[in-house]
Amino acid sequence: MKCFCLVSLCILTLMIFCCSPASAQGWQWNPQPDGFHAGPPNGQQSPLTTLPSAPWQNSNPCDNDSGLMGIWPEAATLLRANFFEFPPQPAPTNGLTPVDFGFIVYDANSGVCWLADANLAGNPEIRALLGVPNISPDGTMDYPTAVLWVDALNNFAGHGFLGHKNWQLPDNPPMDPTCSAANGGNFGISCTGSAMGNLYQVGLARTFPDSVVRQFTNIVWPLRNLQPGLYWTSDQGAKNSGQQTLSFNTDISGSNTTKFNYFHVLPMVPGALGPIATPPAVCGVLPYTSGDAAGKAVYDSCTNISWTLDANLAATENFGIIGNTSIPRDSGVPPGPPLNPPLIDVDGTMLLATALVVNPLPAPPTNGLWLAAMNENNYAGSNNWQMPALSDLQNLFTDLGLQPGDPRLESQWFVGPFWHLQPYFYWACEPMNPNANAQAPCDYALSSSSGMGSLGIPLEYSFDFDDGFEGTDLAGQVVPGQDTHSKQFYVMVYYPASTPAP
C-alpha cells in the first residue's frame, strides 16, 4: 500500500510540475560530474527532471518557440508508458546531451535533436494517437509507412509532436567517402557521414561489429536468446546477390553481402538427439529432458530437426574460436589498413565465412571454423551440427508460433540517453542536397517507386545497429505489379538543432 501511495504521489507531482506555469519556462536536465542528475532534497535521485537554481536562459539548441515540450499531452503519454523505466541518465558524453527532461537528445556531432524514444512506434498508445496503419506491434514498418509516420508526427494536433513540425528520417548522403565499401553509393561500415552512422560510431562510441545491445536476452519457449537481428542460412541468393538470411523479428528473408555483415547463427541437426518432453496433441518445438541434449537442445517434431536451445549460442560458447579476422577495404574508397574485427563478436555475431564455407556451385557448402569446432566438441551429444537452409528457419518461425513484429524480440534496454534503441535495421532517407549535412531535409521522392535517386536508381537507405552496417535496398515496383517495399525496419527521428551543424 505504501508503495502504491508513493508511486501515485510521484505521478501527481510530475503532472503538477509539467502543467504548471513555471514549467513552461523550459528547465533542462542538469547532469552532474558523477553521472547522475541533481534531484529532490535529501539526496534522492530523480529519474526524470531537475529544478535548476535559475530559469533556463534559452541555452538548449533543441528548444522550440512554443515553450517546453512537456506541456503537450503526448508528453504525458510518453511519461506514463515509460515511467517505470527511467533510470538516472548519464552525463553528456561524446556529444550527446539529454535535454527537455530526457525526451530529446541533442547531438552536437551532427547538429540535430533526436527523439530519445528510438522506437516510438512500438508504443501502442502513440500509434493510436497518430493513427498510421500497417505498423507491426513491435514498431517495425515498411519505407512508405515510415514516410507517413514522419508526416503524422509533423502534423499531429496542429502543433506537431512535442511542439515540432520538422521531424524527419535520418539523412544518408548518397556518396560518403568515410564508408568502407564502394557499391554505387553510401554503403558498408565506418560511415560517419550519415546521421545514424555518426551516432553509432561517434555519439554511442560503438566499434564495428558491436551491437548497441550486446546482451539481448529473451524467452521464446522453449528457446532462449532468440535475436531480433538477422540469421545466416546455407542458401545463396539468386544471381550472386549474396547469402540468404532470415529475420525472426519480421519473418522476412533477403540476400545480404557477406564481406562486412556480422549476423547470428542458429545451428541444427537432422533428427532427434534423445528423449523429449511429452509431445503435445499436435507437433511442436519441445525441450530435451534427459541425456546429453538436455538443457542444450530442443526438438521440432513438425520437421524432425533439433536446434540449440540457446538461439545465440556463440555469445557464450566460442568452442575455442578466438582471435581476429582481416577484411580488406574495397577499391574506390580512401586507402587504409585492413579491418581486423573479431572472428566472433561479443554479441555472438560472425561473418558467414566463420560459420560456413560457400563452395562454387554445384558443390554444397561446408562447415566453417565455428560449426566445425562445435562438432569436434560433440555439443549436446552430436557431431552433425550444420547451418540451416532458409526453409528450415522459416518452418521454425511457424512452429514456434511467432508472428511478425512479436514484442518479445523488441529490446527494452537503454542505450546511452536513448530509450528502446533496437539492435536491428532503421530506415534512413536521401537528403535533397546530396552533399548536405544531417540538418538537410529529406527528399522522400528519391526513393519512391516513381522517383529516381541521385545515382539514377530508386534506393531505400537503412542502418543496422546490430553491427554498424549501412545498406541500401531497391525501392518501389522494380517488377511491374509487384511491390518490393517488403522490408520492415524501425524508425527513429530528429529535427535540426538551432546551432549550425559541424
pLDDT tens for each residue of 189-222: 888 889 999 999 999 999 999 999 988 999 999 9
In a domain, 495, yes or no: yes
Asked whether residue 225 falls in the same domain as residue 363, the answer is: yes
Position 405 pLDDT exceeds 70: yes
411-418: average pLDDT: 89
Asked whether residue 187 falls in the same domain as residue 247, the answer is: no
Contact call for residues 400 and 406 (beta carbons, < 8 A): no
Question: Of 357, 374, 409, at which residue does a domain stop?
Answer: 409
Asked whether residue 439 falls in the same domain as residue 358, the answer is: no
What pLDDT, on a 0 to 100 scale, did the predictor assign at position 466?
A: 95
pLDDT tier at 174, thresholds 50, 70, 90: confident
Range 56-73 burial, b when 16+ CB lie within 10 A, else e: eeeebbbbbeeebbbbbe
- The CB density around residue 192, as the number of other CB atoms within 10 Å, is 17
In a domain, 9, yes or no: no
In a domain, 17, yes or no: no
Domains of the chain: total = 2
> Rounded to an integer, what distance in angstroms lies between the CA atom of residue 227 and that of residue 234?
18
Range 465-498 burial, b when 16+ CB lie within 10 A, else e: bbbbbbbbbebbeeeeeeebbebbbbbbbbbbbe
pLDDT tens for each residue of 353-402: 999 998 877 788 899 999 999 999 999 999 999 999 999 999 999 999 99
168-187: average pLDDT: 75
311-327: average pLDDT: 96
The HSE-up count of residue 67 (CA atoms within 13 Å, CB side) is: 11
C-alpha triplet 379, 385, 388: angle, nearest 5°: 140
Question: Of 409, 436, 462, at which residue does a domain stop?
Answer: 409
What pLDDT, on a 0 to 100 scale, did the predictor assign at position 72?
A: 64
Asked whether residue 202 falls in the same domain as residue 226, the answer is: no
Asked whether residue 370 falls in the same domain as residue 230, the answer is: yes
Asked whether residue 204 falls in the same domain as residue 285, the answer is: no
C-alpha triplet 265, 268, 273: angle, nearest 5°: 145
3-state secondary structure (DSSP) of residue 351: coil
- Region of poorest pLDDT, from 92-101, 184-193, 258-267, 359-368: 184-193
pLDDT tier at 33, thresholds 50, 70, 90: very low
Asked whether residue 262 falls in the same domain as residue 324, the answer is: yes
In a domain, 2, yes or no: no
Asked whether residue 283 falls in the same domain as residue 353, the answer is: yes
What pLDDT, on a 0 to 100 scale, did the predictor assign at position 39?
A: 29
> Rounded to an integer, what distance in angstroms lies between the CA atom of residue 7 and that of residue 224?
33
What pLDDT, on a 0 to 100 scale, did the predictor assign at position 170?
A: 94
What pLDDT, on a 0 to 100 scale, did the predictor assign at position 335?
A: 63
What pLDDT, on a 0 to 100 scale, did the predictor assign at position 502?
A: 76
Where does 356-452 have alpha helices with state H? 369-376, 390-399
Position 292 pLDDT exceeds 50: yes
What pLDDT, on a 0 to 100 scale, did the predictor assign at position 90?
A: 53
Asked whether residue 357 falls in the same domain as residue 429, the answer is: no
pLDDT tier at 447, thresholds 50, 70, 90: low
What pLDDT, on a 0 to 100 scale, did the predictor assign at position 448?
A: 46
Asked whether residue 441 falls in the same domain as residue 477, the answer is: yes
Question: In which domain, by residue range, is 96 found?
Answer: 57-213+414-502
Asked whether residue 448 falls in the same domain as residue 390, the answer is: no
Residue closest to 50 by CA, chosen among 36, 60, 40, 59? 40
Contact call for residues 334 and 240 (beta carbons, < 8 A): no
Q: In this structure, what C-alpha cell is assigned to residue 441?
A: 531535409
Q: DSSP secondary-structure letter at 492?
A: -
Q: What is the mean pLDDT of the chain?
A: 79
18-45: average pLDDT: 32
53-66: average pLDDT: 53
Asked whether residue 322 falls in the same domain as residue 232, the answer is: yes
135-158: average pLDDT: 94
Per the document, the length of the chain is 502
In a domain, 33, yes or no: no
In a domain, 38, yes or no: no
Residue closest to 395 by CA, chosen among 274, 255, 253? 253
Give the end-to-end CA distance of the chain in Å, rounded to a whole number.
52
pLDDT tier at 166, thresholds 50, 70, 90: very high
What pLDDT, on a 0 to 100 scale, did the predictor assign at position 237?
A: 79
- The CB density around residue 52, as the number of other CB atoms within 10 Å, is 11
- Region of poorest pLDDT, from 20-24, 117-121, 302-306: 20-24
Q: Is the pTM of this model over 0.85?
A: no
What pLDDT, on a 0 to 100 scale, did the predictor assign at position 183?
A: 52
pLDDT tier at 472, thresholds 50, 70, 90: confident
- Region of poorest pLDDT, from 46-60, 226-240, 336-350: 46-60
Q: Torsions phi, psi of 151, nearest 5?
A: -60, -40
> Rounded to an integer, what distance in angstroms lies between the CA atom of residue 470 and that of residue 459?
13
Question: Of 394, 409, 424, at which residue does a domain stop?
Answer: 409
What pLDDT, on a 0 to 100 scale, did the predictor assign at position 358?
A: 84
What pLDDT, on a 0 to 100 scale, did the predictor assign at position 175?
A: 74
What DSSP assignment string belongs to 250-280?
Answer: TTEEEEE-SSS--BB---EEES--S-BSPP-
> Rounded to an integer, what distance in angstroms lies between the CA atom of residue 83 and that of residue 28?
18
What DSSP assignment string belongs to 77-96?
Answer: HHHHHHGGG-PPPPPPBTTE
133-147: average pLDDT: 94
Distances (CA, A) of 175 to 95, 258, 331, 492: 24, 21, 15, 22
Range 74-85 burial, b when 16+ CB lie within 10 A, else e: bbbebbebbeee
Position 23 pLDDT exceeds 50: no
In a domain, 424, yes or no: yes
What pLDDT, on a 0 to 100 scale, did the predictor assign at position 441?
A: 84
In a domain, 3, yes or no: no
